Amino acid sequence: MVRPRHKRVTVEPVASLQESDVEKVVLCSPRGFCAGVEMAIKALAWMVRAFEPPVYCYHEIVHNKLVVDRFIDRGVIFVDDISDVPQGSPVMLSAHGSAPEVVAAAKERGSYVVDAVCPLVTKVHHEVKVRAGKGYQIVYIGHDGHEEAVGTMAVAPESIHRVQSVEEVNALPDFDQPTALLAQTTLSHREWDSVAEAARERYPDLFTPSRSDLCFATTNRQSALMGVAERCDAFVVIGSANSSNTNALAQLANEAGCPQVYRVNGPDELPKDLSGVVGVTAGASAPEDVVQNVISFLSPTLGVEEVTITEEDEYFPPPRSLRELLTAVDVVATLGLGGPVSARVPLQDRKVGASDVLTTL
Ligand code: SF4
């Protein structure tokens, strides 16, 4: 078992809140942007830089209001219907994954299409396609109406059955075909465990992938929260109301018995009377600068203790179509500056954080 690392960190208090009743902030790590969100935000930022506005984006690039507002300020237009993208416009598809017909329609309409789907969601799409192709009926644990679930189910709508509770599993028909169990990546283990158990009882020969569909980022953020929730008088979960993994974190803090749990977009949504030990974490689409602003707002008198349960070093490179574009832009820029192509600066995407990209956008 990995032993958590504890570290004291310094955050400047907000001047007007020096007399805080918050003694200590216990800060979870990992928190905030995951590799998939990093990739998607940086990809859209590259699009914004490479094309004249407007760049279109199908669905919110990630489920975070502040991130989306930042891109809207830079002329990005978010649409929920791909037919709202004018013919010939550059278009990006969000990290949650899109239905195959949406991808096809985007390619028909867009002058340049970049699909920023997280590779972990692509893995589930692939599994749905393969299992459906082999004649399986698929029990899919996912949230009703969530964009990832909608996109995944559209891969094989005739073979997939979405469930969210034990009761829904028990209400499924008997299948003559073999049955597989797949899931939305951002479920909590608690959402998964009981429903998966019910599905295994219902269909004893149930196929499940060797690698869990539940993504590392969701699991790590939940484990970090569970490691500290018991000793917190209140918990602040930073992220938007439509972020599935943010809501799962808030739910876990509640279930851990934390007396007060607040899901907030930013510090302005926090109550002014928090006191004692306050836990802080952030969903996978919440920027780090908001975390720092929340801590400054809380102004803990005894400082911040950061508890790290694991290091995350996953990195997802930009979507291939964007890599080709960036290389082309880089070559043109180098030639424009009179330098040989071989001397061009290599693309440094990995070294640039999405939080930094957002603040300099
Ligand atoms: S939470 Fe997981 S599945 Fe979702 S974008 Fe991040 S890494 Fe991908």
Condensed to tens digits (0 to 9), the pLDDT of residues 235-274 reads 999 999 999 889 989 999 999 999 999 999 999 999 999 9
- Helical (H) or strand (E) element with 53: none
Which atom of ligand 1 approaches the CA of 37 most closely? 5
Neighbour count for residue 7 (Cβ, 10 Å): 11
**What's 58-69 look like in SS3?**
ECCCCCCHHHHH
DSSP β-ladder status, 90-93 and 112-115: parallel
Please tell me the residue having the least CA distance from ligand 1 atom 5.
36
Question: CA 78 to CA 353: how far, in whole Å?
Answer: 23
pLDDT of residue 335: 56
- Distance (Å) from CA 120 to ligand 1 centroid: 7
Instruction: Spell out the domains of the chain, with CATH numbers in brackets.
Output: 5-34+216-308 (3.40.1010.20), 35-117 (3.40.50.11270), 120-202 (3.40.1010.20)
**Catalytic residue annotation:** 148
Segment 182-191 shows an average pLDDT of 90
| DSSP H or E run through 353 | none
Pocket (CB within 6 angstroms of ligand 1): 34-37, 95, 118, 120-121, 185-186, 215, 217-218, 245, 284
**pLDDT tens per residue across span 193-208:** 999 999 999 999 999 9
Residue of 98, 115, 118, 246 best suited for mutating to test ligand 1, as the one with most atoms within 8 Å of CB: 118
pLDDT at residue 348 tops 70: yes
